[in-house]
Structure formats: C-alpha cells, structure tokens
Structure 1
Amino acid sequence: MAQVNASESLWEGEKPCILVCQHRSCAMQGSARTLKAFENEALSDFTVEGSECMGQCSSGPTVRVTSDETWYCQVQPEDVPKIVEQHIKGGEPVEEKLNPRIHLRMYF
C-alpha cells in the first residue's frame, strides 16, 4: 500500500486520487477495510491510495477526493459503493458523508 502525504498537490497529467487516511485514529475506526473497499471498485480514472494523517482525527475514517477536493468523514466499507456511484461516476457528492468541518452548509 502506497502512503501519500495528504497535502501533496495534484500534478498536471496525473489521475485524480481517492485518499483514505491510514493513520492511528482512522485505522482504529476501520480505515484499512474502507481502503480495501475502494481498491475493489473498478475506478480506471482514479488512483486509490492510503495516506498519512489528514488532520481530521475525530471524524475518521477520512476520505479525500482530489479531483474536486471533496472530503468525507466516518466512511465505512458499506458507504463506498454509494460514493463511487453517486460521486465518482455521477459527479454528485454524497451529502450525508461530507465532512462538516470542511464543507460548511449555509442555511438561510
């Protein structure tokens, strides 16, 4: 499993990436199984990699989609098919899994 620094920028020409935190807090919440679930999906347009800490320790497992900087929290293996179908393939983020610390909702 490749480890990637979560703050690395996407270089031009590289595939977008789905990063799944594998650091302590996320690991204790089952992030290895979440990473495996993403790896088992047919995602030819994305790279799936484990990452170092992304700084969201209280809300793990954390998943970051680099193509549009979407951050998900508390992602379990059973959430992966919906994220893949609705967001990765369909372009619509899964709202109930968005990390509220990063994706603030505005209510008027």
Structure 2
Amino acid sequence: MSSKQVFVCQYQSCLAQGSAEVLAAFLESSDAEVSIVASGCQGQCNLGPTVRILPDEIWYCRVKPQDVETIVHSHLQEDHPVDRLLHPRFHPSYSTP
C-alpha cells in the first residue's frame, strides 16, 4: 500500500448525513500507511458525505460507513477506485449513485 491521504468532510452538511460515522469507520479499517484526515468543507455539500483521496485525486460521494471497507480494500490496497461511489462532478463518466 502506498502512502495516501483520505480526507473525510466533517462540516455541517456532511455531518448531518453521517460523516462522523464514515470517519470512524476509516480510522478503524485503514492501514497505518494511510493518513486519515477529518477535513473541513470540501465544497461538495449536496452529495455528502464526501471523501477525497490524495494523491490520486479521487472523490467519492454519498459514502456510508458500510462503504468504507470496500474503499479500503479496492482503492487503498488494490489501487482500483470504487466506480459506484465516484463523484460525478470530478469523474463525469460515472453517474451519481
């Protein structure tokens, strides 16, 4: 696993949609080589909770705690983004879940 940063929005709209639980799931599930960051607003409130992974510049939207294990395994460990969760604004070839 390469060194990655996972930013999980913890601002008002995302918090109201369960981002604290998403952050907790990432903290519980991720490898020590991955930095989990509780971020401020990432400007994507209408499709929150928002998760952004750097340096890949992959944006996920409407992430639920049950999605975290899939993101950790597929994206963080195998380098295969999870298509069904990709944010359509940044990854327009995919539709909103």
TM-score calculated relative to the size of structure 1: 0.82
Task: Please tell me whether the aligned partners of residues 30 and 72 of structure 2 are also in contact (alpha carbons under 8 angstroms).
Answer: no
Instruction: Give, as a single letter, the amino acid of the residue that structure 1 aligns with 2:46.
Output: S
* Bigger share in helix: 2
C-alpha deviation, 1:16, in angstroms: 2.5
Paired residues, what number? 92
Gaps of 5+ in 2: none
Q: Which structure 2 residues correspond to residues 94-105 of structure 1 after superposition, within 5 A? A: 94-105=82-93
Query: How far did 1:49 drift?
Result: 1.2
Report the Cα offset of residue 70 of structure 1: 0.4
After superposition, where does 1:74-93 map in structure 2 within 5 Å?
A: 74-93=62-81
Residue among 2, 12, 23 paired with 1:24: 12
For 2:48 and 2:54, how far apart are their aligned partners in 1?
17
Q: Secondary structure at the match of 1:44?
A: coil
Q: Distance in 1 between matches of 2:51 and 2:79?
A: 16
* Per-residue deviation, residues 22-42 of structure 1 (Å, max 9, x unmatched): 001000000000000000014
Larger Rg: 1
**How far has the Cα of 1:104 moved from its partner?**
1.2
Corresponding residue for residue 50 of structure 2: 62
Q: Any conservation in 1 of the 2:4–2:53 contact (CA below 8 Å)?
A: yes
Per the alignment, in what secondary structure is the counterpart of residue 84 of structure 2?
Answer: helix
Q: CA deviation at 1:45?
A: 1.5
Q: Which residue of 21, 29, 34 corresponds with 2:22?
A: 34
Q: Which runs of 5+ in 1 are unaligned?
A: 1-14
TM-score normalised by structure 2 residue count: 0.91
Name segments (4+ residues, structure 1) moved above 3 Å. Answer: none
RMSD over aligned Cα, in angstroms? Answer: 1.2
